[in-house]
Amino acid sequence: MAKSARSERVASKKYQGVYWRESSGRRHHGKPDRIYWIAFQAEGKLKWEKIGPASRGVTEGYCNRRRIEILNRMNLGEDPSSLSKRNIPTMDAVMSAYIDALKADGKTTRPLVSRYDVRAKPVLGGKSVTAVTPETLDAMKADLAGKLSAESVKKIFSDLRAAVNLAIRRKKFRGTNPFSTQGNFVMPRVQNRAERFLTPKEARGLLNELGRRSGQLHDMAFLSLHTGLRATEIFGLRGGDINAQNKSLTIRAKGGERQTVHLPPDALKMLLRRKTAPAALIFGGRNGKRPTAVSKTFAEAVNALGLNDGIEDARQKVWFHTLRHTFASWLAQSGEVGIQELMQLMRHKQIAMTLRYAHLLPDAGKEKMAIIGRTLAVRRPARRRAP
C-alpha cells in the first residue's frame, strides 16, 4: 500500500470498500495503530462507517465481512438508517435477554450468570455484537485455556452463542453470529471424554459407601447406574414424572426436550418409595429447590474408597457421570444389546456418540464381523479350459 498522511484513508488492496488510516497517538505492536472504515452506497450517497482499531482485533477481513453483511441487508430492503451501530445490541444486552428467557422457562441460571460475569463480561460485555471479532475471541479462548478446563471454556462460548442465536430469532440482531462457524469461530474442543467405567465390585462398594453417607445421593447414583440418566436430568425429576403402570419415567433432557425412559424393577421400586406430590422434586435440595450440582459427598465417598488414587488423567477418574458411562459399557459388554439399541437407550442423537462403546462388544460379535473377509478368502476351483 502506498504511504499517505495519517489523516487520509488508505484503500485496502484486498477488499473493495475497506479503508484504514494510521492513528496519530495510539500504537499497536510498536507501530501506529490502524483505524478501519468501510464505505458503501446507500440512497444515492456514499456512506462511511467506522469499524474500529487493529489494537482491538479488527482486521481487513472482518471489515469486508461487515460490509458484505450490510449490503446484503440493504438488498433485502432494509432501511439504511437502521444499519447504524446504535441499533446493534451489546453482548450485555443480548446475554441479559437470554438469561431472562431461561428464567421464564423455569431453568437455573446461576452457573451461567457466574460464568458470564467472571469470564466473558470483562472482555465482551460492552461490545456490540458486530464488534466481536474472530481475533478477539481467539485471544479470549487462549487466555481461558490457561485457566480453565476445555469443558469449562466450551460452556462459556456455548452460552454466548446461544444468547446471540436467541437475539437473531427474536429479530433483535440481524447478522452473523460471531460465535458460530459462519463467523469463522472454532468452538474449543473437549478431549477429556470419560473412558473409565466401574467394575461390578467397584459399583457395589460405591453404592454402599454413598448409602452410609447420604440416602438421597445413594438413590441418585442408583438411578443413574440403572438407567444412564445424567445428573442434570435427575435434578429435575418430579413426583408426577413417574408412571408406575408403564414402568417409565418422563425426563427433561438436554435442551429441555421431554423424553421417556424405561425403568427396571429395582429403579421403579426405589422411586416409588421416594415419590412425592406430582409437582414436588423427588431429589430436592435442603432448601427444597432444584440442585445445581452433585453434592461434594460423592467425591468424598470416591476418595474414601481410593477409586481415584494415583490417577492424573481426567478421563480415568470416577465422578458422577461415570455411572452413566458404566451403564452403557455394561450393556455393550453383555452381548445382548447392539449398537443401534444402545443408541436408543442412551438417547444419543448421533450414532458417532454411541460408537465409542463398540470396542466393548464381546469377541463373538467381533468374529461375526470377520465373516465377509473369510468368505472373500475362499478360493474357488479353477475352471478347466475346453480342449
The residues, any chain, with a CB within 8 Å of residue 104's CB and separated by 6 or more, are none
pTM over 0.85: no
Question: Residue 231 pLDDT more than 70?
Answer: yes
**Domain-terminating residue out of 87, 104, 121:** 87
Residue with the bigger pLDDT between 376 and 16: it is 16
What angle, rounded to 10 degrees, do the helices at 296-305 and 215-227 form?
80
Claim to verify: residue 21 and residue 162 sit in the same structural domain: no
Per-residue pLDDT tens over the stretch 144-190: 887 877 778 888 999 999 999 999 998 888 778 999 887 778 887 76
Residue 1 pLDDT: 42
CA distance 30 to 8: 21
pLDDT confidence of residue 247? 94
Cell 433485502 appears where?
76
Which secondary structure element, helix H or strand E, spans residue 212, and what is its range? helix 200-213
Interval 45-99: pLDDT, tens? 888 888 888 887 788 888 888 888 788 878 877 665 655 544 688 999 999 999 9
104 located within any domain: yes
What per-residue confidence (pLDDT) applies to 378? 57
| Same structural domain, 144 and 208 | no
Inform me whether the pLDDT recorded for 334 exceeds 50. yes
Residues 207 and 356 in one domain: yes
Model confidence at 384: pLDDT above 70 = no
Q: Which residue has better confidence, 335 or 363?
A: 335
Region label for 197, one of left (φ > 0), alpha (ψ between -120 and 50) or beta (otherwise): beta
Residues 68 and 24 in one domain: yes
Task: Return the percentage of the chain with pLDDT > 90, whole number.
Answer: 41
| Residue 10 CB neighbour total at 10 angstroms | 18
150 belongs to a structural domain: yes
Query: Of 29, 59, 87, which residue sits at a domain end?
Result: 87
User: What's the Cα-to-Cα distance from 122 to each of 27, 92, 119, 172, rounded to whole Å?
Assistant: 22, 10, 7, 23
CATH of the domain at 100: 1.10.150.130
- Spatial separation of the C-alpha atoms in residues 258 and 367, rounded to whole Å: 39
Whether 382 is in a domain gets the answer no
Q: Which three cell numbers stand for residue 285?
A: 435440595
**What CATH number did the domain enclosing 51 receive?**
3.30.160
b/e sequence 198-219, b meaning 16+ C-beta within 10 Å? beeebbebbbebbeeebebbbb
Mean pLDDT lowest for which of 58-72, 330-344, 353-367? 353-367
How many domains is the chain partitioned into structurally? 3
Residue 373 lies in a domain: no
Query: In the chain, what's the furthest Cα-to-Cα distance?
Result: 99
With vertex at residue 161, the alpha carbon angle to CA 159 and CA 163, rounded to the nearest 5 degrees, is 70
As to burial, measured by CB atoms within 10 angstroms (0-12 exposed, 13-18 middle, 19+ buried), residue 366 is: exposed
Higher pLDDT, 241 or 352: 241
Distance separating alpha carbons of residues 58 and 51, to the nearest angstrom: 7
- CATH number of the domain bearing residue 244: 1.10.443.10
364 shares its domain with 249: yes
Confidence band, pLDDT 50/70/90 cuts, at residue 351: confident
Q: Which of 34, 27, 57, 247 minimizes the C-alpha distance to 137?
A: 57
Averaged pLDDT of the chain: 84
Residue 30 counted as domain residue? yes
The pLDDT score that the predictor gives to residue 4 is: 42
Is 239 in contact with 282 (CB distance < 8 Å)?
Answer: yes
* Residues whose CB falls within 8 Å of the CB of residue 331, separated by 6 or more in sequence, listed in order: 337, 342, 345
**What residues pair up with 155 in beta bridges, in sequence order?**
none
pLDDT for 42 equals: 83
Q: Indicate the residue among 151, 183, 215 that finishes a domain.
A: 183
Pair (155, 222) in one structural domain:
no
pLDDT tens digit sequence for 249-308: 999 886 667 899 999 999 999 999 998 899 999 998 877 788 888 999 999 999 999 999
pLDDT for 361: 76
Q: Looking at residue 210, what is its pLDDT?
A: 97
Domain co-membership, 138 together with 270:
no
Helices in 236-320 by DSSP H: which ranges? 265-274, 296-305
The pLDDT of residue 359 is above 50: yes
User: Are residues 258 and 215 located together in one domain of the fold?
Assistant: yes
Where does 239-355 have alpha helices with state H? Answer: 265-274, 296-305, 321-334, 339-346, 351-354
Contact 319, 192 (CB under 8 A): no
At 17-28, the pLDDT tens digits run 999 998 887 887
Tell whether the model's pLDDT for residue 194 goes beyond 70.
Answer: no
Residue 360 lies in a domain: yes
Q: Which of 350, 340, 126, 323 is nearest to 206 (CA)?
A: 323
Say if 190 falls within a structural domain.
Answer: no
Distance separating alpha carbons of residues 225 and 196, to the nearest angstrom: 14
Cα 247 to Cα 264: distance, rounded to the nearest angstrom: 7
Kindly state whether residue 384 falls inside one of the protein's structural domains: no
Please check whether residue 308 is in contact with residue 260, taking contact to mean a CB–CB distance below 8 angstroms: no
User: Based on the domain organization, do 235 and 290 belong to the same domain?
Assistant: yes
Same domain, 158 and 232: no
* Same domain as 79, residue 16: yes
How would you class 125 by CB atoms within 10 Å of its CB: exposed for 0-12, middle for 13-18, buried for 19 or more? middle
Q: How many Å apart are CA 70 and CA 58, to the nearest integer?
A: 17
Q: Tell me the residue ranges of DSSP E strands in the chain.
A: 10-11, 18-28, 31-42, 45-53, 242-243, 248-252, 258-262
Residues 297, 238 within the same domain: yes
Domain that holds residue 215: 200-368
Closest of 203, 197, 207 to residue 333, by C-alpha: 197
